[in-house]
Chains A and B, each alone.
Chain A
Amino acid sequence: MSKKADVIERKDVVIRFSGDSGDGMQLTGTLFSDTSAFIGNDLSTFPDYPSEIRAPQGTIGGVSGFQVHVGQTQIKTPGDYADILVAMNPAALKATAKWVKEGGTIILDEDSFDEKGLKKAGYKTDNPILEDKLDRFNIIQAPISSLTKEALKDTGLDPKSILRSKNMFALGMVYWIFNRPLNYTESFFERKFKKKPLVIEANKIVLHAGYNYAETMEHTTPSYKVSPADIEKGTYRNISGNTATAWGFIAAAEKANLELFCGSYPITPATEILQELSARKDMGVKTFQAEDEIAGICTSIGASFAGDLAVTTTSGPGLALKGEAIGLAVMTELPLVIVDVQRGGPSTGLPTKPEQSDLMQALYGRNGESPVVVIAASTPSNCFHYAFQAAKIAVEHMTPVILLTDGFLANGSEPWKVPSMADYPEIKAPIVPEGTKDWNPYARDVERLARTWAVPGTKGLEHRIGGLEKDELKGSVSHDPMNHQRMTEIREGKVQRVSNFIPELEVEGDEKGDLLVVGWGGTYGHLATAVNELREKGQSVSLAHFNYIKPLPKNVKEVFANYKKIVVCENNLGQFADYLRMTNPEFKYLQYNKVQGLPFTIIELKEHFTKLLEE
């Protein structure tokens, strides 16, 4: 298949697949991402789907999208605007045309643009191109549905299955545009439909039909070349944030020589962690799908008491339900990791959209003085590292740890250089050996203030713990006023001492300057890209991105003092900014906040930072 058309060389390209939630856009996007990764591009993906599983067909509410950003440089975000949009129906066009770059290309399935389809999408005329002024884009109208039917008419496949494979026609077209090989996707069909040779064959036929169609249409279709990225040598794989989180815990269990237990209740967008751990019985993982969020954490607390590495996974509403039990883990000083994959709130909010608005809940959302360690992952792949760290801190410091990720990290994916477990540290669980004399449940090590862990079944260490205030040493019930004061301070002090065991805050960019951009968690990719692009233009701007929230790294004041202005950027109304005002009140914090259920765009960040630098 030779290519005659002009080839546009690009450092990076953003493509968005958009269609009805039943059109298979997530799979289409994933297959394109995997093929791109396979040929050596760096990439970042972002699935954007409705909270309804099957919203009314053909409506805006039912539009499901998958955006992927591929490039030959380091790619840290799924991109703001798409170079190419594939819109499988009028609703997809209506909902997502605004996310296409000026002069970008839109591929439409023209068969779906009938009267009924246009009406459902909310178009008032029969010409959506003119109606929404889309003629500034390069529009390719392809009869995707009818060509799919035509290609498969002799296969004997039923009409429903035939139509269902139209997404592969679109994928075939996109493969031609980006000059991608088809073999990776073909071998996926062979694995996925092992027992259905007819389906394998049909998908291959449609994929090729789409590819050949685009080639034939070359006079209207742009062709892009994105060369392999210049990235560190090694073995790579694609990984999503939720899978990385699950794997981080399995890795931690191995390094701690403990069995892994996860008690949890399904909740968007955290569910895949429970699903992945449930599939990992081959790694010895025990999962407990509980009757509710409270039972999710309580089974984990029970498992922790009994000597397992225990984790529970949830999203904002679930964290609220778990609050009382987190307090119990604080009081009983048991190791436990609580993952909160944040989503738009309050209440049910925006279940499938990312937000960073659970920070205060994580820090303070419990009765009493109830300190826990709070850390946040900042890229899909580093969810592995921070899940591992969360487990390490929980076990070695005998404390609950809340790990914050968000829907953006959880569902996003990127190529990841596979680590070697030999490079990860041991996790030393403070388990009390049998035969220990004069042991006290609440005696502590001086460095960490962590108590020790006597596992039921160990002879001679029988003891009782519980939610009532504990005697400072014996752990028995104590109502002594001074004991309560001391214990309250010890629990806080224990969490603060974790700062002696975490890395210092590092700045990307100059150590001194005009503007310090401060962020935390899932906004890293956007903030780093915006800061880097401004720096390339000579601006004095740096980034301090936090993964450790409570306790903060020890050098925060040192770092902050070196900049004229500090702007804290978050997908909430300023929770981290307020936390910094409380913990480091000597600085002035400007804010940039976005709460739309959408990540920042690089463009808006750069505009805002430029304005701050000019003021």
Chain B
Amino acid sequence: MSDIQNNLTAKDFKSDQEVRWCPGCGDHAIMNAIQKALPELGYKKEKFAFISGIGCSSRFPYYMDTYGFHSIHGRASAIASGVKVANPKLSVWQITGDGDAMAIGGNHFIHAIRRNIDINIILFNNEIYGLTKGQYSPTSKFGSVTKTSPYGTVEHPFHPGELVIGAQGKFFARSIDGNLKLSQEIFEKAAKHDGASVVEVLQNCVIYNDKTHAAISDREHREDRTIILRHGEPMIFGKNKDKGLVLDGEHLKLKVVELGNEYTEKDLLVHNSEEVNPGLHLMLANMSYPEYPVAFGVIRNVKAETYDKAVYKQVEDVKEKSSFKCMDDLLRSGTTWEV
């Protein structure tokens, strides 16, 4: 993107609409992080388009002073794809939730990723349907008691990272609503990645699913139960930086080790988010507490040709070789005859 503008601030991205999310909702923090990330990208304000579906998080575009489209349930990936292919100069963001993206919009979600269209998909995952007041979602933990599962769910949840990588995703990152700084850092990287970027943000719904992420997010335990992955850095975590991840080659899985006599920092895996082979990224994305720390940061960030660029390249290539300059040429092409 050539159009550079460096004098914007987070305030320039706030619209005049009253923000109507519940007090204490994780959405507020996520929006703050995005509004802080956008000026850092250096794009002109008019280049941003925010596209959403339906759900609490999907009200997001109304609160942004950018081009925005609050569409219909599940379809934001498809609409965002159309926006990007029509006008590839835009920085296109899709705001979605676990119901919007993984249930009703699952098909569009995986295909946008497979095509590698250059959109930034921010997936607010609170493991519940909030706007319809508390039914289980495709990411609700097995056994979750909700209004439509009063005896507990009997279905297994999607892990967004697994789905993204399974759909040949080239960029997957995870953050949590409470960590503004990390979220901002990740959003900037997602925006700069050429291709479909998915950022799963663990988000707390104070009303219908409060503390669903509390086991890994509370102040006392979070450093021991999560790990922040950074490209080129060893996979180390814990309040005292005394734990790390190694590859258990025998069982082909990850293993948490204590640093000390048996293992030192040199034995730990070093994160390579640019590795094309998705094997390790999938293991990292799938780590769940209590066996593992939950991974935050950019887990996968691989370069590949984007759909939108390929579309334009093909059009240009074919046009260059064609003798058609206008509609009249096409109308008179092929077999015609005079009467």
Contacts and interface: CB of A to CB of B under 8 A. Distances in A.
14 contacts: A237-B337, A261-B86, A282-B321, A284-B319, A291-B107, A291-B111, A295-B78, A298-B75, A298-B78, A299-B81, A332-B69, A462-B46, A463-B67, A464-B61
B15 interface: yes
A36 to B, nearest CB: 11
Contacts of B261: none
Q: Give the interface SS of chain A, mostly helix, strand, loop or mixed.
A: mixed
A451 B160 CA distance: 40
B339 A288 contact: no
B86 A282 contact: no
A238 interface: yes
Contact of B335 (A38, A261, A302, A456): A38
Given A301-B82, A456-B90, 13 more contacts: A38-B337, A236-B338, A247-B330, A251-B327, A263-B82, A281-B315, A302-B85, A456-B87, A459-B44, A462-B65, A464-B70, A466-B70, A477-B17
Residue from B61, B72, B319, B338 whose CB has the most chain A CB atoms within 10 Å: B72
A421 B328 contact: yes
B66 interface: yes
A290 B117 CA distance: 13
Interface in A424-473: 455-468
Contacts of A328: 71-72
Interface in B289-339: 311, 314-315, 318-319, 321-322, 324, 326-328, 330-332, 334-339
B89 interface: yes
Contacts of B83: 302-303, 305-306, 456
Interface string A297-341: 011111111111010000000000000110110001000000000
Contacts of A518: none
A280 B330 contact: yes
Contacts of B324: 282-283
Contact of B332 (A235, A285, A468): A235
Chain B interface size band reads 35 or more
A458 B89 CA distance: 11
Chain A interface size band reads 35 or more
Contacts of A306: 49, 82-84, 86-87, 90
Interface of A: 34, 37-38, 40, 231-238, 247, 250-251, 254, 259, 261, 263, 280-286, 288, 290-292, 294-295, 298-308, 310, 324-325, 327-328, 332, 417-421, 455-468, 476-477
Contacts of B322: 282
A298 B84 CA distance: 12
B17 A476 contact: yes
Contact of A299 (B64, B85, B319, B337): B85
B159 interface: no
A54 B146 CA distance: 50
A504 to B, nearest CB: 28
Given A263-B82, A305-B79, A462-B67, A238 B335 contact: yes
Contacts of B54: 467
Contacts, number: 202
B70 A468 contact: yes
B81 to A, nearest CB: 5
Contacts of B87: 306-308, 455-457
Ordered nearest first, which 8 A-B pairs have the shortest CB separation? Answer: A302-B82, A466-B70, A282-B322, A299-B82, A298-B78, A303-B86, A306-B86, A464-B68
A238 B336 CA distance: 8
Contacts of B66: 462
Contacts of B336: 235-237, 418
Interface in B29-81: 44-47, 49, 51, 54, 61-62, 64-72, 75, 77-81
A40 B339 CA distance: 7
Nearest to A294: B75
Interface in B203-259: none
Given A235-B336, A421-B327, A459-B46, A288 B85 contact: yes
Nearest to B54: A467
B108 interface: yes
Nearest to A235: B336
Contacts of A290: 78, 111
Contact of A476 (B47, B62, B314): B62
A369 B262 CA distance: 71
B85 A303 contact: yes
A286 B337 contact: no
A300 B82 contact: yes
Nearest to A281: B318
B326 A421 contact: yes
A466 B67 contact: no
A303 B71 CA distance: 13
A168 B311 CA distance: 40
Contact of B108 (A285, A298, A303): A298
A302 B62 contact: no
Contacts of A237: 331-332, 334-337
B315 A286 contact: yes
B4 to A, nearest CB: 14
A467 B51 CA distance: 12
B48 to A, nearest CB: 8
Contacts of A310: 82, 86
Residue from B71, B78, B89, B337 whose CB has the most chain A CB atoms within 10 Å: B78
Given A231-B339, A237-B335, A280-B330, A464 B62 contact: yes
Contacts of B15: 464
Nearest to B73: A324
Interface string B128-142: 000000000000000
